[in-house]
Amino acid sequence: MNTILLVLCNALSCFIISTILFQFMNGKYKKSSRNRYVYIVIETTTVIFTFCINMLNHSILNLVVWGVLTGIIVYVLYYEDIDKPLRRIIECEALVFCMSVCESLGVILLQCILQAADIKNVNETMLYCLEVTFSKVILIFLYYTFINRFVKKSDVPYSKTRYIMYGIILLYSLINMSVIVENFKNGEENYLCAVNMGCIVLADLYLLYFVKMADEKNYYEKQLIALEQQAKVQYEYYLTQAKKYDQTIQILHDVNKHIKAIEGLYGAEQEKTAGEYATKIRELLKPLIPVQYTENPILNILLTDKESVMREKGISVTIKVDNVNLNFIEPIDCPLSTTFLNRVAVLYSEESPARIKDVLKDIECCIGRKPEDKSCGHVPIDIDLLQWNDQILKAEDLTREYVLDGICSLLAAGENDEWCQ
């Protein structure tokens, strides 16, 4: 029975390491072959071969074999757009070394637990099973939490929820395994507990993997929502342009009449009246001329839309974007998603602060803001009036970093110095 347990432990060890290595390579590099069965066969062969080497119980030989095999696999079966085979090999060899260190930390943790619980004379086979399972739990946790994040660069940020879930899974596993360790004191043999620990390791491997996939799925769903919002904004912009086009056609239809009217006024030597008439014509045409506030097209759409809403509410508004580099803003960042596009603006109006706040709330409602949005964690837009002349309305918000950055941008542009100070 001890031999069977040793075989299962070695097989589990090789399976865990092989799974992590191939997950890393599959995620970071491109596959040279489109036939997925090639990789299944290679991974299976790797597990069997390393298992046979592992049964020799020679740690240095195990490390060398894993290093050589990994280098060959990543060189032959994977590539990059800017292909640098040596870099691929070095990265994977570094991962093998990091996994070896993590396993050593697991063994050290086990020894600390045994000493703290005053557990001695553990059966040699049972001790080996404990070392394998503890080392693999620590390896799996450290790989998904730290190693995978820093070695494999990803566009998907780690959320707090992912870290919390990782912590809960690790804590549960360590507590469960520490309780199981009690069954091995005084040289007792408990094969069912040893198998249970192996199941915990496998469960951790796939639980952490599914947490990772769920977090990435959630991230991409939010990106998809942002893209849909961007498409909606663009569609509304196209509708606005179509409306402007109709207005333009209507005005152009009467342009000859307007020109003759102005010519008649000049002919009658009524230059002042003609000038006033021309001014009215320019005001009539002004809404049809697109305004380029920034170099970002989506941001221009949003600013134009909000200006129209405020003018419809009877608010006199002036939008001015100073000479600030907006190259860091991607078009997908502009639609109102979970990540805000923060902006500080100076508003000139004869309305009272209370009236301005009401209008801002109306604008939020028009865009889709609901009272329950904040509690749900999804706020499409948030417009606040922070200061009115010398009266500070929200002192805490004025100390926030993104607000101070916006004020600094105004100062750097040399505009509104008195207000910013």
Is 216 in the same domain as 361? no
Domain check: are 188 and 39 in the same one? yes
Closest CA to 141 of 120, 170, 115: 170
DSSP state of 291: P
Q: State how far the Cα of 243 lies from the Cα of 266, in Å rounded to an integer.
A: 33
User: 320: which residues sit within 8 A by CB, 6+ positions away?
Assistant: 346, 415
Return phi, psi of residue 379, to 5°.
Answer: -115, 110
Task: Quote the pTM value.
Answer: 0.56
Q: Are residues 324 and 412 in the same domain?
A: yes
Largest CA distance in the chain: 118
Q: 298 and 156: one domain?
A: no
Q: Is residue 340 part of a domain?
A: yes
Q: Are 216 and 156 in contact (CB under 8 A)?
A: yes
The CA distance from 153 to 28, in Å, is: 8
In the prediction, which pLDDT does 376 show?
55
Rounded-to-integer distance, Cα 13 and Cα 133, Å = 8
Domain termination residue (choose one: 225, 243, 267): 225
420 CB-near residues (< 8 Å, 6+ apart): 407, 410, 411
φ/ψ of residue 387, rounded to 5: -145, 140
Which of 206, 225, 244 marks a domain boundary? 225
Domain of residue 308: give its range.
Answer: 291-421
Question: Domain ends where: 225, 248, 263?
Answer: 225
**For the chain, what is the domain count?**
2
* Cα radius of gyration rounded to whole Å, the chain: 33
281 in any annotated domain: no
Domain identity same for 205 and 336:
no
Q: What angle do CA 296, 81, 24 make, to 5 degrees?
A: 100
Judged on CB neighbours under 10 Å (0-12, 13-18, 19+), 4 is exposed
- Tell me, yes or no, whether 212 and 312 share the same domain: no
What three-state secondary structure class fits 78? strand
The answer to the question of residue 279 being in a domain is no
Tokens of 400: 């926030």
Structural contact between residues 200 and 177, judged by C-beta atoms closer than 8 angstroms: yes
Give domain status of residue 109, yes or no.
yes
Q: Looking at residue 334, what is its pLDDT?
A: 47
318 and 188 share a domain? no
Is residue 300 a part of any domain in this protein? yes
Q: Is residue 392 classed as helix, strand or coil in its secondary structure?
A: strand
Q: What is the DSSP string of 153-186?
A: --SSPPPHHHHHHHHHHHHHHHHHHHHHHGGGGG
| Residue burial 32-41, b: 16+ Cβ < 10 Å; e: rest | eeeeeeebee
Q: What is the CATH number of the domain that holds 375?
A: 3.30.70
Residue 186 lies in a domain: yes
Instruction: Check whether residue 304 and residue 161 sit in a common domain.
Output: no
Asked whether residue 263 is assigned to any structural domain, the reply reads no
Task: Tell me: do 215 and 313 sit in the same domain.
Answer: no
Residues 23 and 97 in one domain: yes
Residues 39 and 127 in one domain: yes
The C-alpha atoms of residue 382 and residue 369 are separated, in whole angstroms, by 8
Asked if residue 387 is part of any domain, the answer here is yes
User: What are the average pLDDT values for consecutive 10-residue runs of the chain, which has 421 residues?
Assistant: 81 90 87 88 92 86 90 89 81 89 86 79 79 86 80 70 86 82 68 80 86 85 80 74 68 64 65 69 63 68 73 75 57 45 75 83 76 63 81 80 74 55 50
Residue 218: name the closest of 300, 290, 157 by CA: 157
Token couple for 391: 């009266």
Same domain, 215 and 308: no
Which of helix, strand or coil describes residue 55? coil
Rounded Cα distance, 319 and 338, in Å: 25
Q: Are 398 and 344 in contact (CB under 8 A)?
A: no
Extract the tokens encoding 108: 């050290």
